[in-house]
Amino acid sequence: MKSKQIFLVALVLTAAFVMSACDALPGVGGTSGNPTPTLPFPTNVVISTAVPGAETVAPGSTAAAPQEGVGIGGQIFNDSNGNGAMDGGEPVIAGVLVNLATGECPGTPSGQTTSTADTPSYQFAGLASGDYCVSIDAAQAQNAAVLGAGEWTVPQKTSGAISAAVKLRKQTKDNVDFGWTFSSLGGGTPVAPQPTAEAGQATAVPVLPTPTAFVQPTAPAGGGAPQGCVYRANFLQDVTVPDGTVMTPGTQFVKTWRVLNSGTCSWGPGSGLSNLAFVGGNQMGAPNLVPIPNAIPAGATADLSINMVAPPEVGTHKSNWKLRADDGTLIGVGPSNVALYALIRVRAAPPPTGVTPPTAVPPPPTAPSGGQAIQFAPGATEAEATGQLPANGIATYTVSAQAGQNMQLSLSSNSSSARVAVLTPTGVPIPPQRGNPEGTYWQGNLPATGNYVIQVLAGSAAPTANYSLNVTIPVRIVFAPGAISAQEQGTTSNGRIVTYLLKANGGQTMTVNLNAPPDSAGITIYGLDDGQPLIRSQSGATSFSGQLPATQDYVIQVVPFGNGQVNYTLDVTVQ
């Protein structure tokens, strides 16, 4: 009997030791932070990105207890036909902030994430069984910039905030979807009235309402650069003013770059690195030094902005900038320490006389009749139209395109309310797959072959709206059956970029070589869906070879460095 008692005591002690050890292991019987928010899909909005490793749990709330393999996810998609279902060809909407709460809706906040172009487009992992509430507020600043005007159609029809109750019972639910229908005919987020000038004079065209850098407001302890600091930066994307944006002389704009602090120390006031410095090219009305207003910790992503003015001279202009340490050291981006830059094309403003009356546009579904045809020069992938409209006037253009082609529109104007709209050959409005809240940028794939209608709507912000409309339809590179390479020959002049599209799979290796006269042109390559840059012309690069990160269309641009004619050959290999 005594030996049995000793055995039982030993067994109990052993069990207690094992349970204690399990509690001490990470992720076993304890709690962990919520997943770090995914970097948002690139859009023309400023998005604050958390420092890697920082939790997204709201102050005063408690994160859900983790459980391996259990989660909530789904698609946030463009319900373009408003039928309350995700049909084939309807894309996901990336860059939307999604909230998670525990308990019945509205619940107790427990986490956030940002939708991406992946499937599912959002996901909360490591959750315990229980009741949850997933919600999206369309009026929240980040979401308003992405979604603009429109309404929810899934899980129910409503506007503003929407929520879905989820009962999680030991199995992941990845079908908690949200459908959004964009307002048609150029509808978007209202833009605050801007000061206007007399007819024919350029005024401020606000590309973004927030021309400042911002991240987590955590300043380094003490002043000056900590001993042993390594300053590095990686370029992530152009948030505003894509390379080659067309403007009229004197147009005010905000250039914003998204960068990663990949060094070991913070940037910002009192850190040892507190300015952006002009290092060459055209200064475009900016000062020599632009302060970084907030602390940017090591490992954080930040948006750096500079107020600029388009030069009075017609042509292509480039402004180069680097980070500047307080000791004068200049820090560029990437391993080659290249400069950040703004690259614009200045076109003369139309004369302030002979205002063309607006073209009458019958309501959909009848297609608008007439309209000036957009003509592309031989070998060109972009064309430009300029004009002048009275307040609330409408100018109508037509462009011939094939089903599946991609089209990009960029509008600049002295009127802050000017915007663009696109209609199918049958007169049905097409919302952009990517755009901006001001309605001055439109990008998407065209569903049918025919003559598309492009409308410039002046709005009422200025008595007379001078405008410049840039239309880009890339050339698709197609390999011959069984081939792994193709060659494109072309000519670019007057500073115009030539754009190509190539479909390739993630994991494949793509090699691109540009043969052109020395220092005459470079190449820019980025993913059409994820916006991830592979190489930029700012480095003067004429070749690229690397593994592709995802299956998608890749944009390959030949970017001239001047206004002269450049004859080139582009060789592309994918294997």
Q: Do 495 and 460 sit in the same domain of this protein?
A: no
Token pair for residue 515?
């043969």
Q: What is the pTM of this model?
A: 0.43
pLDDT digits (tens, 9 = 90+) for 230-281: 899 999 888 888 888 888 888 889 999 999 998 888 898 878 898 999 988 8
Domain boundary among 423, 455, 472: 472
Greater pLDDT, 125 or 367: 125
DSSP 33: P
Greater pLDDT, 430 or 348: 430
Residues 6+ apart with CB under 8 A from 303: 46, 47, 213, 214, 239, 256, 257, 258, 259
Q: What integer is the mean pLDDT of 1-26?
A: 42
Query: Has residue 349 got a pLDDT over 70?
Result: no
Q: Report the 10 Å Cβ neighbour count for 422.
A: 21
Q: Do 376 and 325 sit in the same domain of this protein?
A: no
Listing DSSP states for 211-260 in one string gives -S------PPSSSSPPTT----EEEEEE-SS-TTEEE-TT-EEEEEEEEE
Query: Has residue 354 got a pLDDT over 60?
Result: no
Listing DSSP states for 66-82 in one string gives P-TT-EEEE-EEE-TT-
pLDDT, position 7 = 45
Greater pLDDT, 26 or 408: 408
Q: Does 16 map to a domain? A: no
Amino acid in position 406: N
Q: Name the 3-class secondary structure at 482.
A: coil
Number of domains in the chain: 4
Query: Has residue 486 got a pLDDT over 80?
Result: yes
Q: Do 450 and 394 sit in the same domain of this protein?
A: yes
* Domain, as residue range, for 376: 372-472
| In contact, 558 and 517? CB cutoff 8 Å | no
Q: Do 386 and 465 sit in the same domain of this protein?
A: yes
Q: Do 107 and 157 sit in the same domain of this protein?
A: yes
Q: Do 251 and 296 sit in the same domain of this protein?
A: yes
Q: Do 491 and 413 sit in the same domain of this protein?
A: no
Query: Has residue 124 got a pLDDT over 70?
Result: yes
Alpha carbons 399 and 358: distance in angstroms, whole number: 18
pLDDT, position 271 = 83
Q: Does 205 map to a domain? A: no
Please report, rounded to a whole number, the percentage of residues in the chain having pLDDT higher than 90: 30
Antiparallel, parallel or unpaired: β 315-325 and 178-182: unpaired
Antiparallel, parallel or unpaired: β 178-182 and 76-78: parallel
Q: Do 433 and 480 sit in the same domain of this protein?
A: no
Q: Does 362 map to a domain? A: no
Question: CATH number for the domain including 91?
Answer: 2.60.40.10
What phi and psi values does residue 154 have, to the nearest 5 degrees? -140, 130
Q: Do 80 and 158 sit in the same domain of this protein?
A: yes
| In contact, 247 and 412? CB cutoff 8 Å | yes
Q: Do 418 and 456 sit in the same domain of this protein?
A: yes
Q: Does 30 map to a domain? A: no
Query: Has residue 223 got a pLDDT over 50?
Result: no
Q: What integer is the mean pLDDT of 196-225?
A: 34
Q: Does 26 map to a domain? A: no
Q: Do 466 and 508 sit in the same domain of this protein?
A: no
Q: Report which listed range, 178-182, 375-379, 421-425, is most confident.
A: 421-425
DSSP 158: B
User: In 3D, which of 531, 247, 559, 182 has the Cα closest to residue 411?
Assistant: 247
Q: Does 332 map to a domain? A: yes
User: In 3D, which of 528, 525, 455 has the Cα closest to residue 497?
Assistant: 525
| Confidence band of 351 (pLDDT split at 50, 70, 90) | low
Q: Does 204 map to a domain? A: no
Burial class (CB in 10 A: 0-12, 13-18, 19+), 378: exposed
Q: What integer is the mean pLDDT of 58-65?
A: 39
Mean pLDDT of the chain: 76
Alpha carbons 35 and 123: distance in angstroms, whole number: 9
Query: Has residue 510 got a pLDDT over 90?
Result: yes
pLDDT, position 134 = 96
Length of the chain: 575
Domain boundary among 312, 346, 380: 346
Q: Give the residue carrying structure tokens 């997933």.
A: 134
| Confidence band of 350 (pLDDT split at 50, 70, 90) | low
Q: Does 44 map to a domain? A: no
Residues 6+ apart with CB under 8 A from 29: 19, 22, 23
Alpha carbons 303 and 260: distance in angstroms, whole number: 9
Question: CATH number for the domain including 485?
Answer: 2.60.120.380
| Confidence band of 41 (pLDDT split at 50, 70, 90) | very low
pLDDT digits (tens, 9 = 90+) for 517-547: 988 888 989 888 777 788 876 667 889 999 9
Q: What integer is the mean pLDDT of 335-360?
A: 68
pLDDT, position 342 = 92
Amino acid in position 164: A
| In contact, 525 and 535? CB cutoff 8 Å | yes
Q: Where are the alpha helices (DSSP H) in 412-551?
A: none
Q: Do 313 and 400 sit in the same domain of this protein?
A: no
Note the Cα 239 to chain centre separation in Å.
Answer: 6
